[in-house]
Structure 1
Amino acid sequence: MIFIELVLQNFGPYLGRQVINLVPKNDLNDCPIILLGGMNGGGKTTLLDAIRLALYGHRAQCSTRGNLSYSEFLNQSINHHTKPQEITTIELAFEHIIDNETQVFRVIRTWTKNQRNGKDNLGILVDDWPDVSLVKIWDEYIENLIPLGISNLFLFDGEQVKELAENEITPPVVINAIQSLLGLELAERLSIDLEILVHRQRKDIAGAKELVTLEQIEKQLDYLRKDYTLAKQELAVLQNNLDYSRKQHYLAQEKFLSEGGKIAAESSQLKQQSDDSSAALEQARQKIIELASDILPLGLILPLLIQAQSQVEKEYRTSQAKSALNVLIERDKRLLNCINQLNLLTEQIDKIKSFLASENQYLQQEICSEKELWLTDDTEILKQLDNLLQQDLPSQIKQAQEQLVNISNQEEEILAIEKQLATAASPEEYEKLANAVRTSQVLLIESQTTYDVGQRRIEELAAAIENKKKDLQEYSKQNIDSKNYEHIIYASAKVQDTLKLFREQLAIKKLGQLEDEITKHFRFLLHKSDLVHRITIDISTFSLSLYEFNGQPVPKHRLSAGEKQLLAIAFLWGLAKVSGLRLPVAIDTPLGRLDSSHRQNLVDKYFPAASHQVILLSTDTEIGKKEVETLREKEAIAREYLLKYDSSTRQTTVVENQYFW
């Protein structure tokens, strides 16, 4: 199946007729991804609801329906600028292969405000020809193409992934999808039919007294089953309420964060941090002042100080040369007197005199080279200059640089805090935001409590039904003894045992395939593939268990938030693969809670391979500039759309061939 086109007219924030081409093909190649970008509240989820509504009508599990009746939901979905007589329309065109031939279906649902029958008008075109007979059986027909029970495996949003990632218990929607995929519903139905057959046989062979008792037990069992069915229906409503409460609480928290509620709540702490930074800043400035009052300013004339040190060293060497020259002249005189007494040859004495003269001439030249003495040749001054240039001044310069860095850091910290405080909500606005969060939290707790009560009610009814079945079976064994129908009852009991074994074996076989798919996809998405070696699914609760290479279990709490979300996506991906259905995948807000590495893994590995057609509904922070450029380089994007939302009119316009970047 391939979605070809989605048409919205006066639906949600979409005023007028707006057409979205969904064909996963550009001018040159087949490309799986249709990318639609929009800010939060701009109509992304509305597109996913429109697809669900077009396919399933009153059975659609739309995000904003909650516990509204279908007619109320339809009225609520009409754009508020639509005139009473104007029509609201949703059209979904898709192609599907039937008997090796490709057929194009166009599902058209129209309605107006406060329509009399409270329903929409359904029209079906097959290859552009109206098909009235198909309209009458559309619910059954679409169930064969995309069963409602597994539709959430292909049309899902970030909240669904978040719930699956964070909850230890597998959500009911996923459990229903698994049971539908495994074919357990058919076996369960056959088991119920066998029970009905056995009950009829028991009635036929029971006596008058036994028949009354038998009928009483069966009535009680029938009442319990009706109560169980009603409880299941009520639980579905409670589940919708719980999902709605969770979403409202999430939206309230997001609004609290985005509009400065959190900053306002932390304003006193931020102000204290600002005061601390200001104090640290003043302390650093005082330290700079103290350093400036000592020898630090000499750092401004460091070249002059180095020149002075060099001059002092030269003058010191000149002074030493003068002293040495006088000593050497006196020594030379004594040496020559001694040589004269040795009766050496005149030539030898002249050579000695020449050597001594040349040596003394070197010292004389060094003395004469320093024509002007600027500074004293005091050794103490030379030591002071050395200490100043080698130790004291570098130390103070280093301290000053550290304080300057400290001052810069403190100023940046103060500026950042001031920017945060500038975005903080006013006290009145903060109180509204906080009240909204508290109210949504109270509603969420109430919804969760009510749902838990409903769940326990179902468990109690299920236990009561099983007990009543046992009573019925025991009663028939003890009070009904008829050879004519005994073989039927006996055979039915054996068939029931066989069916139970069949369900177990079927579940084991199918779950084995599902486990392999989930493990393969999870390791494919992870950037550290050695984290998990094997994933198993509990046959009764359908919860996941993770194991290392050595067989040791990996507790789910050891996974990071991003790894949990990848596990949830791998779960949904594996279910979709095991279903064997080639259906489009639509994902709303797919990357909300992933870090950069896990996000890149999804972009590189999941989106291009999730299906032959992948509809991505994203904000600018999820599929950002880097991610969209990666997908473009891979030539994975067939079409791009930008959902431009005007907050003043609360209208969204679909702009083709455009994204945030």
Structure 2
Amino acid sequence: MIINKITIDNYGVFCGRHEFVLHSDKPTKKHKPIILFGGMNGAGKTTLFNAIKLCLYGDEIPGQRMNGNYKAFLKGKIHQSRNLLIQPNYASVEVEFQYSKNGRLNTFIVERQWEENQGKIIENLNVKQDGENLDEVEKESWQEFIKELIPVGLSQLFFFDGEKIQKMMSDDSNEEFKKSIKAMLGLDLVERLKADLKIYRTKYLKEKSSKPLELELEELESKLSLIKANKRKLEDQKSTLTNNVKKTENIIMDYNDKIASQGGNYLENREALISKKSSLENEIEIVKENLRELCSGLLPVSLAPSLAKRLREQIIKESEFEDNKIASKLLSKKSRMFLKKINSKGFLDDVLDLKSGDLKKIRKHFEEEVKTHFDEKGNQDKTKILHGLSQQQASITSHNIDSALNDVPNKIKDLTKEYERKFRKLQKIQVDLQRVPDEELLRPMHEKLNELYKESGGLESEMKGLDEKLGQLINDQNEIERKIEQVDSKLEENSKTDKKLMLVKKTEKVIDSYYMELAKLKSLNLTNEFTNIFNNLHRKKDMIHRIEINQETFDVSLYDINNKVIDKNKLSSGEMEIFAMSMVWGLAKISGQNLPFIIDTPLGRLDSHHRDNILKIFFPNASHQMLIFSTDTEVDRKNFDTLKPFISTAYHLEHSDSDKSTRAKKGYFWN
């Protein structure tokens, strides 16, 4: 499939008729698959993106269930502008595309047009094939014809809205994604064949059955149809409710962000901040008191270490002088007693027999020696007494000087660091307290937030109720289907020799076997394709070593190089987008479905490395036609230059604030 042209008229922000021709005006030998639509936020990129889906699928737009409000939806898409004297009352979307059907390339034009007439919306769908009305199909079936050409399940993947497809792929319970995989792998056709055979078998058995069994079967089928209708209705309600839950959650996040930006978090922590402030102020006061004690004590001494050392030396000298003085007095007293002793009569008479002259010489020698060594005056040094401290005072003073020189500097250093640390904490808390807004300023937002939380709780309760009802309907459906099987068995027993019935049963078995083998083969091929593509696009090689697709549930599991399961919810938004792109590209490769890729906001969640890989590998190669809707920050000048060799044409969507409308012109923002 190749889209040739998109035409919109009075649709959304687009005033009047706009044609987008999706091929280059200049013929070129090189294949250029990219058509680039550039526009700022609000210029109409997503409007145009969704317009293609609306044109093809009407009230079955993938991802947008109308729930009875489809006409209101269409009315809301008719362009309105306060600058127009006469407001448009109609709008249309037209898609022209080429499609190979039954080995022949045909050109189809699908136009969906609607107008408001006396408060009512009248919609009209036109389909042309090769310039002629599609006569081979009844007009009432044109929508079904388009869905057969381009199944809704496929469009879920080829219309690539990064954020929506990420959510779809990260949710293992998402039935839409599983249906899309089946459609891409061609398994939906096999399932449809199985369902058709079952319908045929049941219809055939009814024709051959007895009246009571036929009536019982009709009653059961009627009940089953009602259950399925109610189930679809509840599923639609659940889809709408899920969207409302998401919207409410997003609004709650926005309000929390607004409250946080205006200091709401500080308001919540105000009491804790005040308590911390008071505690820190007390702790700082204790540090200050300790510093004051040092200042009034030994700190001044520590600030003059040289003087303190000289003082200590002087005190030591004086102390030693006093000690020597006391010792000298004691020795002098002892020496006098000794001299008195040696000068006494009978000195040494009982020891030595000495002559009087010899004894005299000995006495004289002793006297000289004693005077030389123990004379009080001779032992006094020339130390000058400046302080005259007692021994106790001298000891205390010396100890204090030692403490001032050794301990006080360390204490000052520790106390200063502690003061600085606590003071910085106090400053931060004071700044945080200054950020605390007036409670009255945030009160309306808090009240609104509380309302939203209540609304969210109500929606969750409603969702729980819907799930319970759906669960009950599923149980009822299973029970009815079981009873139908029982009746079918009775009917088959009555017609067990019927050749047609036997052929149908054999065919069903063959189809079941074929389905399993096809699912196995396609899953294996998809596993290999996905792994190769992902590892080419992702900067961390072998981050996802392999994937596994359950052939019954079609749940997709990711495994790392150690064969451990990777939680998809823990992938970053950029990694999730790479995962989604790899999956879609892999599905496209093995399915043989040559559909265009139509991508909205493609690069917003990617880092520079992944962005380069997408620009150089994915965009030029993933499809024969790639429609990209981008802002000037996603595809900027550098990225545009990278893509330029592959761009066949580009459009710039310019929105005018004055007339609230968008106009398109050829080229990109600066091209």
- Asked if the contact 1:249/1:440 (under 8 Å) is kept, the reply is yes
Within the candidate set 624, 631, 643, 2:639 is matched to 631
Q: Any idea what the Cα deviations from partners look like across 1:409-441, whole Å, max 9, x if unmatched?
A: 654565456557479963123212331343244
Letter in 1 for 2:567: K
- Asked if the contact 2:62/2:155 (under 8 Å) is kept, the reply is no
Pairwise mapping of residues 169-180 of structure 1 onto structure 2 (< 5 A)?
169=173, 171-180=174-183
- Asked if the contact 1:261/1:430 (under 8 Å) is kept, the reply is no
Distance 1:441 1:591 in 2: 34
Within the candidate set 450, 458, 464, 1:442 is matched to 458
Q: Secondary structure at the match of 1:581?
A: coil
Distance 2:44 2:172 in 1: 31
Q: Which has the larger radius of gyration?
A: 2
1:113 is matched with 116
Letter in 1 for 2:74: L
- Asked if the contact 1:280/1:410 (under 8 Å) is kept, the reply is no
Q: Any idea what the Cα deviations from partners look like across 1:38-75, whole Å, max 9, x if unmatched?
A: 55x77554333222112323332364x54134322211
Unaligned runs of 5+ in 2: 313-395
TM-score (norm 1): 0.68
* Distance verdict in 2 for CA 1:8–1:602, change over 3 Å: farther
2:480 is matched with 464
2:151 is matched with 147
1:212 is matched with 211
- Asked if the contact 2:6/2:94 (under 8 Å) is kept, the reply is yes
Pairwise mapping of residues 238-257 of structure 1 onto structure 2 (< 5 A)?
238-257=237-256
Distance 1:120 1:390 in 2: 96
Higher mean C-alpha displacement, 279-288 vs 178-187? 279-288
* Distance verdict in 2 for CA 1:271–1:576, change over 3 Å: farther
Q: Secondary structure at the match of 1:426?
A: helix
Unaligned runs of 5+ in 1: 317-379
Q: Any idea what the Cα deviations from partners look like across 1:186-219, whole Å, max 9, x if unmatched?
A: 3334334444554565466x5xxx6213322431
Q: Secondary structure at the match of 2:548?
A: strand
1:556 is matched with 567
For the pair 1:511 / 2:523, whether they are aligned, the reply is: yes
Q: Any idea what the Cα deviations from partners look like across 1:320-358, whole Å, max 9, x if unmatched?
A: xxxxxxxxxxxxxxxxxxxxxxxxxxxxxxxxxxxxxxx
- Asked if the contact 2:153/2:183 (under 8 Å) is kept, the reply is yes
Pairwise mapping of residues 198-597 of structure 1 onto structure 2 (< 5 A)?
198-199=201-202, 202=205, 211-227=210-226, 229-231=228-230, 233-260=232-259, 266=265, 268-276=267-275, 278-279=277-278, 282=281, 286=285, 396=412, 400=416, 403-404=419-420, 407-408=423-424, 410-412=426-428, 414-415=430-431, 418-419=434-435, 421=437, 426-447=442-463, 449-450=465-466, 453-454=469-470, 456-458=472-474, 460-477=476-493, 479-480=494-495, 486-549=498-561, 551=563, 553-554=564-565, 556=567, 559-560=570-571, 562=573, 567-588=579-600
* Distance verdict in 2 for CA 1:311–1:275, change over 3 Å: closer
* Distance verdict in 2 for CA 1:199–1:443, change over 3 Å: closer
Q: Secondary structure at the match of 2:122?
A: coil
Distance 2:291 2:630 in 1: 57
Distance 1:16 1:287 in 2: 78
* Distance verdict in 2 for CA 1:188–1:418, change over 3 Å: same
1:605 is matched with 613
2:189 is matched with 186
Letter in 1 for 2:77: S
- Asked if the contact 1:231/1:458 (under 8 Å) is kept, the reply is no
- Asked if the contact 2:266/2:433 (under 8 Å) is kept, the reply is no
* Distance verdict in 2 for CA 1:443–1:216, change over 3 Å: same
Structure 1 residue 93: Cα displacement: 5.1
Q: Secondary structure at the match of 1:540?
A: coil
- Asked if the contact 1:154/1:586 (under 8 Å) is kept, the reply is yes
Letter in 2 for 1:183: G
Structure 1 residue 115: Cα displacement: 6.6
2:88 is matched with 86
Q: Any idea what the Cα deviations from partners look like across 1:360-410, whole Å, max 9, x if unmatched?
A: xxxxxxxxxxxxxxxxxxxx9999999989985587467646754664565
Higher mean C-alpha displacement, 427-436 vs 273-282? 273-282
* Distance verdict in 2 for CA 1:261–1:394, change over 3 Å: closer
- Asked if the contact 1:525/1:605 (under 8 Å) is kept, the reply is yes
Distance 1:400 1:614 in 2: 67
- Asked if the contact 2:560/2:566 (under 8 Å) is kept, the reply is no
Q: Secondary structure at the match of 1:152?
A: helix
2:317 is matched with none
Structure 1 residue 542: Cα displacement: 1.0
Distance 1:402 1:276 in 2: 19
Q: Any idea what the Cα deviations from partners look like across 1:613-641, whole Å, max 9, x if unmatched?
A: 55555789xx67xx857634644695585
- Asked if the contact 1:590/1:616 (under 8 Å) is kept, the reply is yes
Structure 1 residue 503: Cα displacement: 1.6
- Asked if the contact 2:6/2:96 (under 8 Å) is kept, the reply is no
- Asked if the contact 2:255/2:445 (under 8 Å) is kept, the reply is no
Count of matched residue pairs: 575
- Asked if the contact 1:70/1:119 (under 8 Å) is kept, the reply is no
* Distance verdict in 2 for CA 1:407–1:240, change over 3 Å: same
Higher mean C-alpha displacement, 534-543 vs 8-17? 8-17
TM-score (norm 2): 0.67
- Asked if the contact 2:98/2:105 (under 8 Å) is kept, the reply is yes
- Asked if the contact 2:44/2:653 (under 8 Å) is kept, the reply is no
Structure 1 residue 151: Cα displacement: 0.4
